Amino acid sequence: MNQRRPSALNYRVELDQLTRHTFIAGLTGAGKTNTLMHLLTQAASAGVPFLVIEPAKTEYRELLGHKAIGNDVRVFTVGREHVAPLRLNPLEVAPGVDVSTHLDLLKAVFTASFALWVPLPQVLEQCLVEIYTERGWDFGSSNHPPLDGSGQPPTPDCATW
């Protein structure tokens, strides 16, 4: 805003303006992380929950035990099993979700993530239906197959692929 020059201007962001997604952009060294850290500590002090997704840096770990936030911070780390791992199985059908809807969303994720030209989306859909059918899912009634010991219906695993 001030091209790295000191400014006497104060900038305010009202809490109710943070009820939507917030995007902070700027050049390297412009103060994006410091600005966001200040916003987060102020929001936390007011009891406002927050979520930070930062795949490249570790600065936000400094919020662990911060005096304004306390110990109410959870940090998840993808691919590091020894440090609060984040586990996500996109093949698992969430409770209450129709299996056909789940497969449509799963196909959309693959289509958005990879360059799938015709007929690959149709081939992907056929493969997904076949895999879930083999695991006991009934697309006609959307019934879950018999539960295994975990209380969750059987889910295809990556080895199936």
Write down the mean pLDDT value for the chain. 80
Going from N- to C-terminal start, the domains of the chain cover 1-88, 99-160
The answer to whether the CB of 108 falls within 8 A of the CB of 101 is no
Q: Kindly state the tokens that stand for 37.
A: 């850290």
CA-atom Rg of the chain in angstroms: 22
- Is the pLDDT assigned to residue 153 strictly greater than 60? no
Q: What is the pLDDT of residues 42-92, one digit of tens each?
A: 888 888 888 887 777 788 888 888 887 877 787 777 777 777 777 778 888
Alpha carbon distance 59, 100 (integer Å):
40
Q: Is the pTM of this model over 0.85?
A: no
Per-residue tokens: 13: 């962001």
What is the percent of the chain with per-residue pLDDT over 90, rounded to a whole number?
15
Helix (H) or strand (E) holding 111: helix 99-113
pLDDT tens string 78-87: 777 777 777 7
Confidence of residue 105 (pLDDT cuts 50, 70, 90): very high
